[in-house]
Amino acid sequence: MTDQWFVFKNQQQLGPFSIEQLVEKAGSGELGAGDLVWKEGMEEWTKAGLVEGLLTGAADSPPPPGPVPPAPPGSGISNRADSESREVVHQSNMAASPSSGKKKMSGLKIAAIVLGSLFILIMVIIIIGLSAGRKALRSSEVFSQAVSALYANPDAVALLGQPLEIGKKVNGEINLDNAMGEAELSIPVSGAINKGEMNVTGGKSSGAWSLSSAVLVLETGETINLLQPGATHNIEPDFDFSQPDAGPVSGMLTFTGQGYGFTMNYPDDWFYNIVDNSVYFFGPEGSEEGENMVVVQVLASARGGGQYGSLDEISSDLEDQYASLNGVVYDQDRGYDYIGDTEHAYIMLGALYPHEGEDVIEIAILLERDEEYFYIILYTVPAVIGDKYADLVFEQIIDSFQFTAF
């Protein structure tokens, strides 16, 4: 039987051909040295240039073959060899197929989008967590005491330069265990001249917090111990409502405005002005005392048709207002005290905030008169002169406050 030859060329299987036909094709150039040929009895496809007597003048370096073709039908090549050949062709076609490349790229894009979304979600969670954590640190007693110590230290204030600003990016941690606790904070601060960081540690014992160390480290390299002996805050409210004043002392007048339900002394060179439900007391305009202002505000309770249902609601509203002014509540106290011969609930807040280029101290005393009325006594003064007028305002003015009939 004459041998039958098959040719694999240009991704096509051709044949069968006789040897004479192959020689003729080789002579006409239809069959090149790099084309693959096969006949029964050969283990695999072979380049035509390697078959003895088939080609003459074949190229010394034939071009590399394309994908290996499948075995011809009825060739008798083993199933294993056929399977391997088909796998090679499949892989090559996959590599050359544009559609398969697009599917792979689409998968990568989806993976990138998913990973990107997860990253953004994680970052949002981290940012929210940091924001909440820093807010908790800023509202802590240790933070308030540290800020108070800073303002009480004249050397620190002078080196930083007025007005001072307390940064929001507070770092650290507070650990609590019932009535015990530990705290460690880093608080950024800046002023008109310099900026730095307060490194603070504190402890809680028997339910009360106290600072164990507070050091200001400036960018210029100086360090200041904020807890040096004699350092006290420049506003220390000292008043006692329980002993009603018998009347104005020398140099004082008494406010007895009808319809406001209170009486209070004020210096005879001060003035007062009534606006709606508030009475404003202030020193002579243009003088240093004119920068002091005491306000008594009368509020109807929710039960009496007003906005607030408790002192806590008023306190929360005030704290939000101080925060909107970039201020900080540095002190807070609450309890019950006698005004005259009756006991009343109170909350006291001490706040610091910047205003027109200088730091302002504001003391707010919230009083519950009865189920229908709340009173707010506010004292506002520039921080630099607060200490100078503390005795006058608290011992002679606010200390004389008493409830009267409407």
CA distance 314 to 308: 7
- In contact, 273 and 293? CB cutoff 8 Å: no
Residue type, 306: G
Cβ neighbours for 186, distance < 8 A, ≥ 6 positions apart: 170, 171, 172, 197, 198, 199, 200
Residue 312 has pLDDT above 80, yes or no: yes
- What is the reported pLDDT for 127? 60
- What is the reported pLDDT for 77? 39
Q: Is residue 235 part of a domain?
A: no
CA distance 49 to 58: 6
Peptide bond into 73 cis (omega under 30): no
Answer with the residue of higher pLDDT: 83 or 21. Answer: 21
What CATH number should be reported for the domain holding residue 184? 3.10.450.320
194 and 256 share a domain?
no
Exposed/middle/buried for 22, CB within 10 Å: 0-12, 13-18, 19+? buried
pTM of the model: 0.48
CA distance 202 to 214: 9
Task: Give 97-141 pLDDT, tens digit per residue.
Answer: 334 444 445 666 676 676 676 767 776 666 666 566 667 778 788
Task: Give 213-238 pLDDT, tens digit per residue.
Answer: 888 999 887 888 888 644 344 576 77
211 and 275 share a domain?
no
What does the pLDDT average to over 234-257?
75
What CATH number should be reported for the domain holding residue 307? 3.40.1000.10
- 178: containing domain: 141-225
CA distance 218 to 214: 13
Exposed/middle/buried for 45, CB within 10 Å: 0-12, 13-18, 19+? buried
CA distance 190 to 129: 25
Q: Is residue 47 part of a domain?
A: yes
268 and 388 share a domain?
yes
Torsion of CA 8, 9, 15, 21, to 10 degrees: -120
Total number of domains in the chain = 3
Final residue of a structural domain among 210, 225, 240:
225
166 and 304 share a domain?
no
